Amino acid sequence: MNFMIRASLPKILIAGLLLVSIPSFVEAQTVTVGPTSAFLLWTIPTTNTDGSPLTDLAGFYIFYGSSPSSLTNIIPIANPRQNSYMVNNLANGTWYFVVTAYTTQGTQNAPSNVVSKSIPAATVTVPTVIPSPPTNVTLTAQ
């Protein structure tokens, strides 16, 4: 028999900044990450929607993109024991994420609520050095 994954509402933490409800498997913790990364952390589900033990969890999918309606990047996590992932090298702008769990039979739960992280544009300050005029210089003509 194939069961859906339980859809209780724990929490998700994106880059230590935002808590949002997500179905079945996420627990918030404080995390410090670099300015171009988003860290996702979740607790692994243990039961199906009918309360029976979840024995066929296969992994997770992280969907993300630059628009909440266009989550075109997919990160498959084929390890059912993995409970976190760092998405690195994000370009500046706001990035949106959802997470789903899937079973060995291919059953996938509904996506979590959309969460976001803003990546600031990189700023580089280049100092302008103006040399001081030389002193004690004598000019002679030849």
The confidence score (pLDDT) of residue 47 equals 83
Residue span of the structural domain in which 43 resides: 11-119
State the DSSP H helix or E strand holding residue 99, giving kind and residue range, or none if neither: strand 93-103
Do the domain assignments include residue 42? yes
Residue 101 lies in a domain: yes
Q: Which pLDDT belongs to residue 126? A: 64
Residue 125 forms part of a structural domain: no
At 135, the pLDDT band (50, 70, 90 cuts) reads: confident
pLDDT at residue 31 in the model: 43
Picking from 80, 71, 78, 61, the residue whose alpha carbon sits closest to that of residue 115 is 71
Model-level pTM? 0.65
- Classify residue 36: in a domain, yes or no: yes
Judge whether 28 lies within some domain. yes
pLDDT beyond 50 at 30 = no
Total domain count, the chain: 1
128 located within any domain: no
Q: Which of 15-24, 38-47, 68-77 has the lowest mean pLDDT?
A: 15-24
pLDDT band at 64 (very low <50, low <70, confident <90, very high): very high
Q: What is the dihedral of CA 21, 70, 118, 112, to 10 degrees?
A: 10
Give CA–CA dist 135/142, Å, rounded: 21
Q: Is residue 16 part of a domain?
A: yes
Q: 129 falls in which pLDDT band (50, 70, 90)?
A: low
Q: How big is the CA angle at 25 (ends 19 and 28), to the nearest 5 degrees?
A: 30
At residue 2, the pLDDT reads 35
- Confidence at residue 6, expressed as pLDDT on a 0 to 100 scale: 38
Task: Classify residue 29: in a domain, yes or no.
Answer: yes
What is the CATH classification number for the domain harbouring 52? 2.60.40.10
In this predicted structure, the answer to whether residue 36 has a pLDDT above a threshold of 50 is yes
